[in-house]
Each structure stands twice: as C-alpha cells, then as structure tokens.
Amino acid sequence: VAVVPDAYLNPAAGSDDHLVGLAAAGWGVVALPQPGLPAHVERAALAAVADQLTAFLDDGYEVALAEPDDPLAGRLNGVLVAGGRRLRAGVSPLTGPGSQAQPGRSTVGGSEHVGG
Amino acid sequence: MGLTIRWVRRSTRDDPDVVVCYLAHCLLNANAKVDEGARCAGVSTPVLALLRERGATIRQMPCPELAFGGTRRFWAVREQYDTPAYRAHCRRLAEPVAAQVRADLAAGHRVLVIGIDGSPSMGVELTAADDTWGGRPDKPRDEDYPVTPGAGLFTETLLGLLGEEAGALRAVGIGQDLFDYDEERELAKLGGILSGDGEPGAR
C-alpha cells in the first residue's frame, strides 16, 4: 500500500502521472488529504487515514510513503508514531509491492465476490 | 520515481465545469476489500483511466469497514454492521468528507460520489441486507449473498450529514460487489454520469 499526496491523484496538467505507474506495478494507494483544508478537517481526515493504515500495518502489509518529505506525510507519520506505528519511506513502482506481499492472503480474487 | 506516464489533462483548479469524484476507498486500494474479495491488485485502472480521460478531480473516501473490522474481516450484511458504534465510526469518517464536499459544491463544482453497489457500507443503489445472515461465515457467498435495494451505511451517513446539500450532488455505485459485475456496463454507466446524463440541462 502506497501512501500518496493529493498531487498523485490530481497531477497538474502536463506533469508526470505517478499514480498510473503505481497502479501498473500493483500498488494500492491511500491518499493524503489535499493541501489547504481547514485545520480541523485536515486533522479528521488524517486521523481517518491513520486508522486505515494501522489496520494494514497491524496485519503485516507493506505500507510506504511515496513522498516522505511531503508536509502532510510528516503530519501523518506523527499520528502513527504516537500510536506506535511507523511507515516505510519510499516506494518503487518498478518492482511493486510483491516482494513483501501478505503470505496466505490473496488480494486478487476471482469473479465472484461479495461484501465490503 | 522511475516509472511514470505523462498525461495531458486540463487543470482542475478553479474550473466550475470539472467533476469532483469522491471514490470509494477500494477503487484505489483493493487491499481494503474483504478477504479474497478484490477484483484487481491495487488500483481499479479502468475507473482511473476513465476519470483521467474526463479530467475529473479525484478524492478518496475512507473505507469504514477496513478501519473497523481490519483486513481479515469476512463478508457481511448491513444488519451486522448496523450498531451504534459502527454508525458513530461512519459519522466520524464521513464528517471530513462532508466538509470537503460542501467546499467543492460552494466552489461551483459538480460532485459525484462513487460508491460500491452491493456493499453493506459503500452501496449507493444496492447494498446487502438480511435479517438472518450471521454466525459462522459458512454460507456460500457466491450463491445467496443478499443484495437488496438501498444504500450502505457509510453512504447513508454521508448523505445524511450533507442534508439538503446532498441534493446538489450525484451518487452512483459501481457494482464490484455484485455477482453479475460487468465492468464494461459499469464503466458505461459511470461515463454517462460524468457526461451529465440524467442531470437537468445535461451536457
């Protein structure tokens, strides 16, 4: 799971589309809130992101910050560290997340699926 | 970052014609789906490609089930999640989303909430509900999962928080949690809505 800034979801015109590269390599993404939100909205949004990442981290998923120097990534990391969790810095879209994939759990299912 | 693709797309900032799409979390991160429930490895690339093609602004909503039940949860129905604690959890997650939706509407943007039809939480037109479903997860999920008309709990909470402002947005479910999921059909539906089908003065 790659944690990405809003600029990955919404790249500026003419800029590189990193999200497509991550998608092609099999990464799922969790987006940080967009910059410029009111502080209380940003706090609530970051808390929601932290809750979700905690679920992945506690179940052994590889979770990495795509842009560790992003200010919002720093604030997210602060929330996670306070809860005793830590994110890896940096993702490699060329290799994808497969090398540390969750053993015994397929995230790619068949044609029948229900729930969630 | 080594592998990137350069897209030519219009700027979405301060553009009243742009559609701001609030995506169900799992459309960008299939790892959040119930165990063995994902239809792709990570990002739903056909959906992403369609949104890129239309120049949509993308926002990712949280997955309420992931944060509540973790990654190893089983498939469930609305009634199993419909507790005061889960509703409070949905409300806490939906409040910042609602605030962003309000800001986008106030900026004059079109807002489209894209949920997952068949989901007990993220369904829009179809959810899963059954008064008797529960206990051990030994029912054959591919035969009798009770898909029923209605919205999922998170969708219901979000639209409830928005109140009358919910009337200013569109919501659509992509049927990834349905047995007869037909990607081509669902993309055509989404594409039509992005084009303004069904809206007054449709573009």
Stretch B142-156: mean pLDDT: 88
Give the model's pLDDT for residue A44.
96
Stretch A63-74: mean pLDDT: 93
Give the model's pLDDT for residue A96.
60
Among candidate residues B95, B113, B98, B151, the one with its CA nearest the CA of residue B25 = B113
Whether A31 and B44 have beta carbons less than 8 Å apart is answered as no
Token output for B20 = 């701001």
Give the model's pLDDT for residue B94.
98
pLDDT over 70, % of chain A? 78
Give the model's pLDDT for residue A95.
58
Among candidate residues B95, B23, B24, B30, the one with its CA nearest the CA of residue B58 = B23
> pLDDT at residue A94 above 60?
no
Buried b (16+ CB within 10 A) or exposed e, B95-124: bbbbbbbbbbbeeebbbbbbbbbbbbbbbb
> pLDDT at residue A99 above 60?
no
Give the model's pLDDT for residue B198.
74
Whether B100 and B156 have beta carbons less than 8 Å apart is answered as no
- Point out the residue among A10, A27, A49 whose CB comes nearest to the CB of B57: A10
Give the model's pLDDT for residue A108.
29
B101 touches chain A (CB under 8 A): no
- The conformation of residue A16, written as its DSSP 8-state character, comes to E
Give the model's pLDDT for residue B109.
95
Query: How far is Cα B16 from Cα B59, in angstroms, rounded to an integer?
Result: 16
Whether A32 and A49 have beta carbons less than 8 Å apart is answered as yes
Stretch A83-110: mean pLDDT: 56
Give the model's pLDDT for residue B157.
98
Which range scores top for mean pLDDT: A21-25, A94-98, B20-24? B20-24
Give the model's pLDDT for residue B21.
97
- 3-state secondary structure at position B143: helix
The dihedral built from the CA positions of residue B121, B125, B128 and B132, taken in this order, carries a sign that is positive
Give the model's pLDDT for residue B3.
33
Interface of A with B in 4-63 (CB under 8 A): 9-31, 33-34, 37-38, 41-42, 44-45, 47-49, 51-52, 54-56, 58-59, 61
Give the model's pLDDT for residue B12.
46
Element spanning B65, H or E:
helix B64-69
CB-CB neighbors (< 8 A) of A94 in chain B = 2-3
Using pLDDT thresholds of 50, 70 and 90, give the confidence band for residue A90. Answer: confident
Give the model's pLDDT for residue B132.
86
Inter-chain CB proximity A28 and B128 less than 8 Å? no
Span B55-107, pLDDT tens digits: 999 999 999 999 999 998 988 899 999 999 999 999 999 999 999 999 999 99
Inter-chain CB proximity B28 and A29 less than 8 Å? yes
B148 touches chain A (CB under 8 A): no
> pLDDT at residue A105 above 60?
no
Span B100-130, pLDDT tens digits: 999 999 999 999 999 999 999 999 999 999 9
**pTM tops 0.80:** yes
Give the model's pLDDT for residue B140.
62
- 3-state secondary structure at position B160: helix
- Point out the residue among A26, A48, A105 whose CB comes nearest to the CB of B41: A26
Using pLDDT thresholds of 50, 70 and 90, give the confidence band for residue A91. Answer: confident
Q: What is the ipTM of this complex?
A: 0.86
- Residue owning tokens 């990137």: B4
Query: How far is Cα B3 from Cα A18, in angstroms, rounded to an integer?
Result: 7
Inter-chain CB proximity B52 and A18 less than 8 Å? no
Stretch A90-101: mean pLDDT: 57
Span B154-188, pLDDT tens digits: 999 999 999 999 999 999 999 888 878 888 999 99
Q: At what angle do helices B45-53 and B183-194 cross, to 10 degrees?
A: 20
Give the model's pLDDT for residue B167.
93
- Point out the residue among B5, B34, B39 whose CB comes nearest to the CB of A115: B34
Give the model's pLDDT for residue B95.
97
Query: How far is Cα A4 from Cα A6, in angstroms, rounded to an integer?
Result: 7
Mention every residue, 6+ apart, whose C-beta is less than 8 A from residue A80.
A50, A53, A54, A57, A86, A87
Inter-chain CB proximity A24 and B3 less than 8 Å? yes
DSSP strand pairing (B5-6 vs A16-17): antiparallel
- 3-state secondary structure at position B37: coil
Query: How far is Cα A40 from Cα A46, in angstroms, rounded to an integer?
Result: 10
